[in-house]
Amino acid sequence: MLYYYLILFFIFGLIVGSFLSVVVSRLETGESILGGRSQCPKCKKKIRSYDLVPLLSFVVLKGRCRYCEKKISLFYPLIELATGILFALLLYRFSDIFTGANLYLFFGLHLIILASLVAIFFYDCFYYIIPDKVLVPAGLTTLVLAIINVLLAKRFQLDFFIYQPEIWNLVLGIIIGGGFFLLLVLISKERWMGWGDVKLGVFLGLFLGYPSILVALFFAFILGSIYSVVLLLSKKKKMKDAVPFGPFLVLGGLIALFAGKFIVSWYLGV
């Protein structure tokens, strides 16, 4: 039965990913996200609805426009696949922990947050900006549910945070996640990190809480360092070139979400 739902979540993720690709490609150009069918960036022909099937269309068309044969960016199948895999992974990892009303609340909340993280990842890769239009709604959703969770958890047996049922875990998470990047921004005068990283740090701190936020920061810096060294060695970038940090923070956050509990208990030796 689980496999049936895993496939369902994966397909749902593909569809959401397809929507996210529109959000990411249109937010910066200011086009309406809901209105107007997508068009080929080269020949401007409207893309037919049967060519908009997530992932499948890309494979069938062999990654080229049906009309002008220009290569379609790998970004589209990648963002769809990433969302599909994350949605299925969420179900696989947490389906046995939550039951009843908590199950729906937990998955509802976390699917929104995962989708936001995917959008932030690709957006920051392309434009070196972490968009408030994605970050603020995701942060507010988490905040509202955190308040409900902290205030009403005991009364209604609601509990949809994985690791930190207490308020101090969340407050400490925000202080560490936001404060750390705030320091880096102030010290470097925005050369190492931007205000977007501070906001993303606050959001992840609220979402993951303490101590999981430490796992996220740790892996973000490990992965970011490896990537920078590879770029420097391959001479693709110079020391002073900017590398967006948001994508690594997102990856660190995902590692903390899916494996944080294991990593923390392994580290503490319990």
Site residues (vs Zn ion, CB under 5 A)? 40, 42-43, 65, 67-68
Judged by DSSP in three states, 203 sits in helix
Q: How far is CA 239 from CA 79, 196, 217, 223, 249, in A?
A: 29, 22, 22, 17, 20
CB of 65 to Zn ion, least distance (A): 3
Q: Name which of 65 and 82 has its Cβ closer to Zn ion.
A: 65
Q: Name which of 29 and 99 has its Cβ closer to Zn ion.
A: 29
CB of 51 to Zn ion, least distance (A): 11
8 Å CB contact between 27 and 33: yes
Q: Which amino acid is at 107?
A: F
Q: Name which of 71 and 93 has its Cβ closer to Zn ion.
A: 71
CA dihedral 17, 18, 23, 26 (to 10 degrees): 150
Please name which of 91, 163, 165, 125 lies closest in space to residue 250, comparing C-alpha atoms. Answer: 125
φ, ψ for residue 16 (rounded to 5)? -60, -40
Q: Name which of 77 and 178 has its Cβ closer to Zn ion.
A: 77
φ, ψ for residue 39 (rounded to 5)? -130, 160
CB of 270 to Zn ion, least distance (A): 57
Q: Which two tokens stand for residue 257?
A: 């979400």
CB of 67 to Zn ion, least distance (A): 5
CB of 29 to Zn ion, least distance (A): 18
